[in-house]
Structure formats: structure tokens, C-alpha cells
Structure 1
Amino acid sequence: MLIFSQSLFSQDFWVKTNFPTDNSSLFSIYSIIENNTNEILVGTFAKGIFKTTDNGVAWSESGLNNMWITSLAKDNSGNIYAGAIGSQFGSGIFKSIDDGTTWTKIFEIETGINKVYVSSENEIYIGLNYTSEQSGIYYSSDGGNNWQKIFNESENVYTIIKLNTGRVLAASYGKIYYSDNNGINWQITSSGLTSSTPSSFAINSENKIYLATLGYGIYESNDSGVNWTNKTGAGWEYSDLEIDNNEIMYASTRGNWVYKSDDNWNSSVLINSGMGQDKYVLDLYIDKKGYLFAGMDYYGFYRSNTPVVVSLENDNLLPSFYLSQNYPNPFNPSTSIDYSLPSNDYVNLKVYDVLGNEVAILVNEQKQAGNYRVSFDGSKLPSGIYFYSIQTGRFYQVRKMLLIK
């Protein structure tokens, strides 16, 4: 897999926030969510929930103090659900109807809570560790008022996703269970998978499903989760996956920062500048303003210096910022790149080789709102893979192109 280091760009990608960590595991961040008032909430290992209203400059406690918050999720009405473990309030699922200010326990659970997942239909799925007392998947269709067990296998359920076809996928060690009737019947597959611990599902607009694992890479399925192909090879412990509205995917790792890919993990970019060395990233989140957040094990909370996508708060802006795939691609010796700006902005459009060396500056000036096309001449360059990036005050994106002579 090709790795292209983001640290070679001039501006650090990451900035560390003022999250009140003491560099101990007590403040490790396991889950991140944004409430309806644009506050960012983070769930910690043993200090409950904290929130910030200003992208991490100031923080305050937001309930469930001294609890281990393993997972956070939000429904379409803005209700927030937390999987919490601890003696202070008793382990279970907690619900907040006021953006995380107060919490009410809606389900008592004594075993480990791996995942709280809310579907687009506001259905709640809880994935548990296996114990003799309580295990499997519990399900609620009414906001947590009533629960039923829909998965009875003696398995740890690490993560869950529901497809737009109605199929539910539940990932266990080295295998995937799937149900097309919401848990009445389950089928099992391990086709293409190795014996590894899964950590996170993600799905793109083409309905390709991605599964991150601890130690055996990222897998892709093109058939609703039945068969899987490893995209990255074994090695890194991938802890979380996020996909932005430009179809760029981000993967966090335990020990080697964050990677991103715009070609379904055929290649990836290491984005580590500003984060330091050997950081254990446990969770990723993209907020409505387009910022990427990273919750760490021991070492606090990081935010991207600039939004990775156009603000999600104003949908009519989404088509306006745009960086096209170059055409033709592959090319020899020249190719065209289109980009669009919704407002006046300073634009940097550059080309890099696979080692991160800058080979061309295509645009470096103030531009008016509008659509633009630039040409890139690779006649003096050797054949190979190149990357081009655009950066403005509110937008950043990298794409890959191939020069074949």
C-alpha cells in the first residue's frame, strides 16, 4: 500500500486542544459526538463525559462522572446515547434529551458494552461482550423504552451497522454475522477475513462496506458483507473509520497516527504533522463545520487545523467547493484539473511526487468565486504516481494521478 506523508506540507494538519488530560489512561477518549447545539462531547475511560463549545479551547464536565464511556451515538431527534461502565451510577445505557446536560439510565447492563449504534430509522443496537450473564445484541425501536435481545451467539459483538437494504451486520472475532430480518435469523461469514478483532464499520455512497481491524488491516465488501477483501495488509491496529462528504476515508491507528485515502484504500496518505510521535488514536469524528477530530489514548484531543470538507451546516455550499479528478488519467504528458470556489479565496494548488516532494505550483493567488481549469505538464517528470492538493481558507483536498510514458 502506498503511503504519502502529509507532514511534508507546510502547515501542520493537527492542532492539540486544551482537553484536560494528565497523560494518564483515565482521560483516554473512546468516543466523540456532536450535539444539536454544535458542542463536541467526548467519552473518556474513567472520567465520564466532557464537552467543548469552541473547538477544544475550553472544556467542562457533562455528566456520568468517573464512568468509562465506551460508546456515544445520536438519533435523528438529537437524543444522545452513552454506553457507560462503572459503579457510581451502575453500568448500562444512558440517554440525554438535553444535548448531554443530564443523563437517565434506560437499560441496565453488567457486561462490557462495545458499541452503541443508532440506525437512520432511530433504532438502537447495543453490542456486548460475551459473559454467562449477559451478551449478544439488544435492540430498541422506541428510544430505549423497551428492549429485546436479537442475537444469542456466545460471541463478543464489537461493532454494528445497518445497511439501507435493511441488513444488519455484527462483527465478532474473525467473522461477520448478518441478518435480513432484524435479528430473527442470522447467517455467518468469514470469507476473506482473518482471525482478528474488528473495531469499526463504515459505508460509502457506492454501498461498499469497510471494516477496520486490530492488527489485520482494513477490509472491503462489495456484496453487503458476505465476502471481504483486505485492502491494506496486516500490521497496524486500525481503531476507527470515518468517511467525509467527498468520499475521502480516514482511519485511526493505535500507535501510528491517522491515514486517509481517496481511492478506497488502494493508496493512503499519512496525516501526522502536529500530532507528534507514536500516538494511540482511539476515535475519529467529523463535525458539521467539517473539522476532523481525533481522540487519543493518554494524550488528549486533536483537531484538524482547517476543515477537511466544506461546512456541513449549509448544504447549499456542498457542491460549490470542488476539486475534480484530473482528465485524462492516466495521462501523457499533460492533463487538466478543474476546481470550483463558492466565494473569493486564496488558492494553493500544488503537485507532489510519492515522496512528498513538491514538483509544481499550479495556482498560488487570490481567486474570485467561480469555476476554474488548470493544466499540468508532466513532460519533464518520470512515469509514476503523483498527488495534487488544493488548499483554501475553508477547504482542503488531495487527489492522486498517474503519469505513464
Structure 2
Amino acid sequence: MSCNSLMLNFQKWRFMMKRWSFVIFLILVAASLQAQTWRQVATATYPYFADVFLVDTLRGWAVGSGGAIYATNDGGITWVPQASGTTADLKKVFFLNANVGFVGGYSRTLVKTADGGMTWQPTTVVEIPETGASIRGIQFTNALTGFLLSSESGKNGRVLKTVDGGNTWTTVHYVANEEFNAFSFNGSNGVVVGSSAAVLYYTTDGGQTWTKAPTPSLGGFTYTRSDIRAVHLFTPLVGYAVGWGSSAAGLQPSILLKTTNGGASWVYMTQDSADRTYDNLYAVVFKDTLTGVAAGGGTRGSVVLTTTDGGVHWHRANVPSGVALYGVHYSKSLFLIVGSSGTIFRWLNLSGTPNLVTKIPGSTLYALRFVSAKVAYAAGYGGVILKTTNGGETWSGKYLYANGLSPNIQDIYFVDERNGYAACSYRMVAKTTDGGESWQMVLPDTVSATTASYGVYFTDNQNGTVVGQLKSGTDIIYHTTNGGQTWTIRTGVVNKALRAVAFGNALKGAAVGDGLKIVYTSNGGSTWSASSVSGVPGSLASSNLRDIAYLDSSTAVAVGNKIVLRSNDGGASWTFVDSAAEQLNRVSFRRIGANLVGCAVGNKSLLSTTNGASWTPYLLDTSIVNQSLYSCAVDYSGYPWIAGSNSSIYTSAPVTSVRDGHATFPQEIYLASNYPNPFNPATKIRYALPTAGRVVLNVYDLLGRHVCNLVNGFNSQGVHEVVFDGRGLPSGVYIYELRFGNAVARNKMLLLK
């Protein structure tokens, strides 16, 4: 055989091997539809904080969940994490000086530093016999002498003392059937407070002996509980304690107590009626004999009280936050306040409004809406509002604050980038006209915990509908025609809580609720009637519905507990479409040209659709998306966005960020997942190039046969997008391949007809 013949056969063999290798690769990777390329674009800035401590106006520490210790060297403006060496939740922090500090937490955990937090050494205080006890108080009077307070829930309150810098501890006070919450020492005098106003102890000999103080009267108010949660003995004789308050179990004012004899007796401080609060207080500190701060709250907003006359009068400060605040400390004129959701406030001279340091507070995000290609909002627990102005690449957060309240946000709707509404717990509805910078209450709140506004939708700036629950098992519908200035009310249409509302046009709308109940309107919300539902399996006959979205003026989809329904007549009648593996919390649709893109999100899943009639599960990358999901949206390019707890937002949209006015380009080629996927008939494919150059983008079937060429030519640096039209092709999995220089990237897509 000639050399030419041998060479020809070798080339044929090499070509066939390459062809079959590619086919084998396609078969292997197409065995199941590959997960979308997901990325996280937002999360909470900080963890839950339980306490804060300042050694001067620059240096301080905040501690909290999961062993978190954060330090500041600029007075609380910026914070950096420090390695604590433990994952236990931490509750208290105390520094003897700028170098020596102690942090205590759950499971008897005590962490110590001798170098200002550069290194921490965790230990277990074995002298506390209760393994489930948490360390709730730490205070040192000098380098050798210090105290710990520990307790379990409802029992085993204990005070321990060290005389060797914390190497060993001895119990100096123990009560088996009482829970201790906090303590404070000043000189040889000390006080302990606990799970009720009857749990008050004091010592005058450095903790060697303890005496129980008489139970104080509580101002003539009726209390179902009287937990005392924090105490500060400012001088050896003068101290303040704070605790329980509630508006849910009757109006029970926040408890404020004062002692002038070292804790031997306590006097209830009655708040002025105009400034009276009804929330738990978790922290108290006094700067001098007259000036003090107490912090707490959490049901309808944070609560911060100040006094400048030694507790005779307390005034509520304007603090734009909806979470419980657990720690407060000061150095000279600087106060720092911390709490859940990673909230940090910085307050100078107790004047004006405290400044929220936290860029993104943590929240369970119940609602997510794209208002334009660039602007989107997310909102949820604690009144947190997140906003993006660059298409979702970066987000910033704050708290909805209206009329002194920041309740949980159940739903949001924006008519445009600046005008929007929020439906909240305790019935409140708030309105913004400046893109969320400020909010005004347009539907007043109530103290009833069973009254809530769950869904909101406006067809224009003036006409809107809010749905919710008047009380357990009773629906309520509010309708406005003047932008929320006045409302008409309808209740008792289906006698179930209504959870969401949407409109297909200015006239046709529907609301969904518990027990498979749906109501509809054909006159813009002036009147409502019960809808009919058919074809639902018996096992799902009482499913709770959670959300609704319109595909057009007549077609709508509702989702809920393991169920998907569809209406073709504007919401008057509904038929069963599909079941789901779990509860679906939100559904969203957007029309992109001739294509309709939809998604629905559940606790651990995401479904996609192109028509609302058939749904396909996404294969989420659990290494990235690893939590329960509560809201979803489709952006103006057709990509899905999903949100969960801890202010986490994810998307499969490619990176298109802009920073400091300059485009951010990838370091290597990036081939995004097509969207929608599955699709019918068309889908979008995005890719990004690190530099300009020649690009080839081809589509193949599973046998490696070339289907079509989408790109073949020179492309500029940056992000590009093409449309693949599958009309004329059979249903199935297709491979799209991007070649750029020596780099190759492939993804799969599913055409489903």
C-alpha cells in the first residue's frame, strides 16, 4: 500500500474517531438535562448579631450566629470578620481593653483573645455542668477577676466567677428552677435578671452571696409575661433593667425598671402614653446618670428608646428597621446598635436618625419584581427592600419605614421605576413615589396579628387592589381608584384568606387563596365573585393557593400547594393543569417578542413553561442554590431570577455588570444557559468574550449532526446574544457549541413541542 493510501486511511480513521468521540460525549452529557448555569448575585452583608462592644470610638466587635465575630477599626463604618474557631451561636462580647476580650455563646462556648481579635481560642466551660446551657453574660473587673452568667431555657440559672483570668471558674450563684437572662456588676455590687420580674437578685460582696429582691409592681398593667432581658448597673447603686412588651396578647407596655439601691428594690417606669411602646426590649445601656438607650422590637418594627432625665421620660427614636435589636454599646458620643438580619446602626450624639451601616440586611424575600430592564425590587421579612439599577448585577438594601413602622412585606408592585406599593403584615399598605427612598402609609396598620395584606396589584397609578385576611378564615379585598387616598372594602366572598392578586388588563383580575378559593372581577375590582375550579384530584381538593399571574388578558395561571391551575376566561373558571412535588410559592411570566417565558418557584424547586399548560423542572445546582425559595421573576431578556432567605438572589442570566462606569469583561469565554429552557419554538443564547475575535457558534443534535450555524465571524469584546429558532425541528435535546480561538464551550437545550 502506498504512503498516500496509508495517509488517507489514517486521516479517515482519525476523522471517524473524532466524530464518534464527540457523539459519545454528547450522549453522556445529554443523559439528563444539565442544570442551568446559576450564580448568586445578592446575599446578606452580615449574619445575625446578638451583641456589640466598643473599647473606644474606633475599635469594636459584634458577635452573632454561627460563631461570627466582626471587628471595626473606624467606629462602625466598616466591619471585617475574624476567625472565632467555633460555629456555636455567640451571644455576648466583653473586652477588658483593646487586646483582651471574651465572647460567650451556646453549648457553654467561651472564646478568648489576647491580641485584639487577631486570634481567638475557643473553649468549653466545663465548670457549667448543663451541656445545653448558653453563656448569656460576661464581665471582667480586672485582668484576673471576671464573671459569667449561664442558663438553659426555663432553668439552671448560674453565675460563675474566675480569679485567674478565665482559666478556671467557680459557681457563686445557682437556682435550679429559674432562667437567668442577664447580669451587670459595678464594683462589689451586682444584679441578675431573669425570666420574670420575680427573678431579680443582687449582691454587695463581689458575688459571694446573693439576695432575691422583692417582685416590683408593674405599673398597674396586666402582663401575661414579665421577662427581664437586659440590665445595666451604671453606678454601684443606680441601675436599669428592661424586658417584655406585647401588642399581640393585649396591650402590654415594654417593661422598664430602675433601682437606686444596687438592686435591693426596683421601681416600674411608666412611659408617657404618647411614646408608649409595646415590644420586647433586649438591651439597655446608660452613658451617664441621665442619658440612656434601650433597644428591642421586631414585630412591627425596631424599637429604640432614649432618656435624658434618668428614665423619668422615654422617647421613641426614628429607627428605620423592622427587626429585633439585641445589642447596644457606646464610647463617648458614639452609639452602635446591632440586631438580627445583620443590622448595624451607627448613631452620633443620639441626634437625628441612626445611620444604617448594613448594605444588604438579611431577609426572607417573599416578592421579586422587575420593573424595567435595569430596575428591580425584592422585599420580605422585617420590612427589607432590596433594589438594583443595573439589571440585577448589584443590589442595595434598606428598610421600608412608614409612620414609624417596618412590618413584614408580603408583596410589592411597582407601576414604574419610581411608583410602587407594598402589602404588609398587620394590614398596612405603604406607597413610594421616589423609587423606594421613602414610604408613606396609605392603608393604616392594626395591632391584630391575624390581620394582614398579602397581595397587591395596580393597573395604573390610580387603580389598585390589595387582598388579604381580615381575621383567621375571613378574606378581605381593598380597592382604590385614587392611588390609595381612599379604599372600598369587600369581605366574606369566599371566607378564606386571599394570598395574591393579579390583573390581565384594566378590567379582568383574580385573587387566589387558601382552600383552593379564587375570586375574580370583570370591572376593574369594583365587584368580585367566586370562581369555579374543576378537574382537581381529590388529594389536592383543599390545596392552598399562593400566587397568580396573567399570560394575557384572558389566560392566567395559579400555583400553590403541589398544584397548578389555568384559566382561559380571565379568571372566572379554572381547570387543573399539573401537580408539583411541593408547594409552589410564586409564579411569573413575561412576553419576550413572540415568546412567552414563565417560571414557578417552590421550596426547593423551579419549574419553567412557555405556555402555562405544561411545566418542566429545572435542575438547580444545589452547590449554588441550596435553600428554600420564596419568589421568582422573569427579566426583560427572558431570564429567571429566584430569591430565598438571607436576602439571597440567584439567576441564570449571564454577567453584564457595569462598575465605575466601565464594562466588566470576562477573563475567558462564557457561554450562558439558553433561556427559556425548555423552549418552543425559539430561545436566546448569550455568550461573552474576553477580547474581540472570530467566533463560531453551531448547533448539533445528539448524534453529532450539524443542525445550523448561528454565528461565524468577528465579534467585539463583551456580551452577545443570538436567537435559535427550532421551528421545523423535532422535539429533543440539542447541543450548542461556542468556539473562540482554542477555547470551546458547550451547553444543552431542550426543544419541547
Q: Are residue 167 (structure 1) and residue 192 (structure 2) matched?
A: no
Does the 8 A contact of 2:597 with 2:676 survive in 1?
no
Counterpart secondary structure, 1:250? strand
Whole-Å Cα distance in 2 between the matches of residues 98 and 56 of structure 1? 21
Aligned partner (choices 36, 39, 59) of residue 396 of structure 2? 59
Give, in angstroms, the shift of residue 368 of structure 1: 7.3
Q: 1:231 to 1:278 in 2, by over 3 A?
A: farther
Does the 8 A contact of 1:127 with 1:138 survive in 2?
yes
1:267-292 residue CA offsets vs partner (Å, 9 max, x unmatched): 41414136646531111123446553
Which aligned pairs between 1:76-155 and structure 2 lie closer than 5 A? Answer: 76=416, 78-85=418-425, 92-110=428-446, 111-120=451-460, 122-131=462-471, 135-153=475-493, 154-155=495-496
Give, in angstroms, the shift of residue 80 of structure 1: 1.0
Does the 8 A contact of 1:17 with 1:303 survive in 2?
no
1:311-345 residue CA offsets vs partner (Å, 9 max, x unmatched): xxxxxxxxxx999956xxxxxxxxxx99999xx99
Aligned partner (choices 226, 231, 237) of residue 583 of structure 2? 237
TM-score (norm 2): 0.41
Does the 8 A contact of 1:290 with 1:307 survive in 2?
no
Gaps of 5+ in 2: 1-30, 49-339, 342-361, 657-674, 687-692, 716-720, 739-746
Letter in 2 for 1:180: S
Does the 8 A contact of 1:30 with 1:70 survive in 2?
yes
1:67-113 residue CA offsets vs partner (Å, 9 max, x unmatched): 31111111257411112337xxxx51111111110111111143111
Whole-Å Cα distance in 2 between the matches of residues 13 and 6 of structure 1? 14
Letter in 1 for 2:517: K
Does the 8 A contact of 1:209 with 1:222 survive in 2?
yes
Give, in angstroms, the shift of residue 37 of structure 1: 9.8
Which shifted more, 283-292 or 172-181? 283-292
Whole-Å Cα distance in 2 between the matches of residues 172 and 226 of structure 1? 15
Counterpart secondary structure, 1:237? strand
1:128-158 residue CA offsets vs partner (Å, 9 max, x unmatched): 1141798510011111111111344332111
Q: Are residue 200 (structure 1) and residue 547 (structure 2) matched?
A: yes
Does the 8 A contact of 2:680 with 2:726 survive in 1?
no
Letter in 2 for 1:281: L
Q: Larger Cα Rg: Structure 1 or Structure 2?
A: 2
Letter in 2 for 1:285: A
Aligned partner (choices 34, 45, 65) of residue 381 of structure 2? 45
Q: Are residue 22 (structure 1) and residue 47 (structure 2) matched?
A: yes
Whole-Å Cα distance in 1 between the matches of residues 583 and 505 of structure 2? 28
Q: 1:367 to 1:125 in 2, by over 3 A?
A: farther
Q: 1:371 to 1:305 in 2, by over 3 A?
A: closer
Does the 8 A contact of 2:412 with 2:456 survive in 1?
yes
Give, in angstroms, the shift of residue 120 of structure 1: 4.8
Letter in 2 for 1:211: A
Aligned partner (choices 70, 82, 86) of residue 410 of structure 2? 70
Whole-Å Cα distance in 2 between the matches of residues 272 and 83 of structure 1? 30
Counterpart secondary structure, 1:306? coil
Q: Are residue 157 (structure 1) and residue 505 (structure 2) matched?
A: no
Letter in 2 for 1:100: G
Q: 1:366 to 1:137 in 2, by over 3 A?
A: same
Q: 1:7 to 1:267 in 2, by over 3 A?
A: same
Aligned partner (choices 595, 598, 610) of residue 249 of structure 1? 598
Q: 1:376 to 1:168 in 2, by over 3 A?
A: closer
The answer for the alignment partner of 1:7 in structure 2 is 34
Give, in angstroms, the shift of residue 8 of structure 1: 4.5
Whole-Å Cα distance in 1 between the matches of residues 737 and 504 of structure 2? 34
Does the 8 A contact of 1:5 with 1:269 survive in 2?
no
Q: Are residue 218 (structure 1) and residue 218 (structure 2) matched?
A: no
Whole-Å Cα distance in 1 between the matches of residues 439 and 409 of structure 2? 13
Letter in 2 for 1:69: I
Does the 8 A contact of 2:607 with 2:618 survive in 1?
yes
Does the 8 A contact of 1:15 with 1:305 survive in 2?
no
TM-score (norm 1): 0.71
The answer for the alignment partner of 1:180 in structure 2 is 522
Whole-Å Cα distance in 1 between the matches of residues 641 and 547 of structure 2? 16
How many residues align structurally? 356
The answer for the alignment partner of 1:400 in structure 2 is 751
Letter in 2 for 1:63: L
1:326-376 residue CA offsets vs partner (Å, 9 max, x unmatched): 6xxxxxxxxxx99999xx9956454577xxxx8556447545799999999
1:372-402 residue CA offsets vs partner (Å, 9 max, x unmatched): 9999999xxxxx951347699xxx9955257
Q: Are residue 296 (structure 1) and residue 636 (structure 2) matched?
A: no
Give, in angstroms, the shift of residue 66 of structure 1: 5.1
Whole-Å Cα distance in 2 between the matches of residues 205 and 82 of structure 1? 24
Whole-Å Cα distance in 2 between the matches of residues 239 and 227 of structure 1? 21
Give, in angstroms, the shift of residue 234 of structure 1: 4.3
Specify which structure has the bigger relative contact order, considering alpha-carbon pairs within 8 angstroms and separated by 6 or more residues.
Answer: 1
1:292-317 residue CA offsets vs partner (Å, 9 max, x unmatched): 32110347121323289xxxxxxxxx
Q: Are residue 260 (structure 1) and residue 608 (structure 2) matched?
A: yes
The answer for the alignment partner of 1:312 in structure 2 is none
Give, in angstroms, the shift of residue 62 of structure 1: 4.9
| Percent of aligned pairs sharing the same letter | 15
Does the 8 A contact of 1:349 with 1:388 survive in 2?
no
Whole-Å Cα distance in 2 between the matches of residues 34 and 366 of structure 1? 34
Whole-Å Cα distance in 1 between the matches of residues 648 and 724 of structure 2? 41
Whole-Å Cα distance in 2 between the matches of residues 339 and 277 of structure 1? 23
Letter in 2 for 1:175: K
Q: 1:227 to 1:386 in 2, by over 3 A?
A: same
Q: 1:276 to 1:374 in 2, by over 3 A?
A: closer
Letter in 2 for 1:192: G
Whole-Å Cα distance in 1 between the matches of residues 477 and 603 of structure 2? 26
Counterpart secondary structure, 2:34? helix
Name the Cα RMSD after superposition: 4.4
Give, in angstroms, the shift of residue 15 of structure 1: 3.0
Q: 1:106 to 1:252 in 2, by over 3 A?
A: same
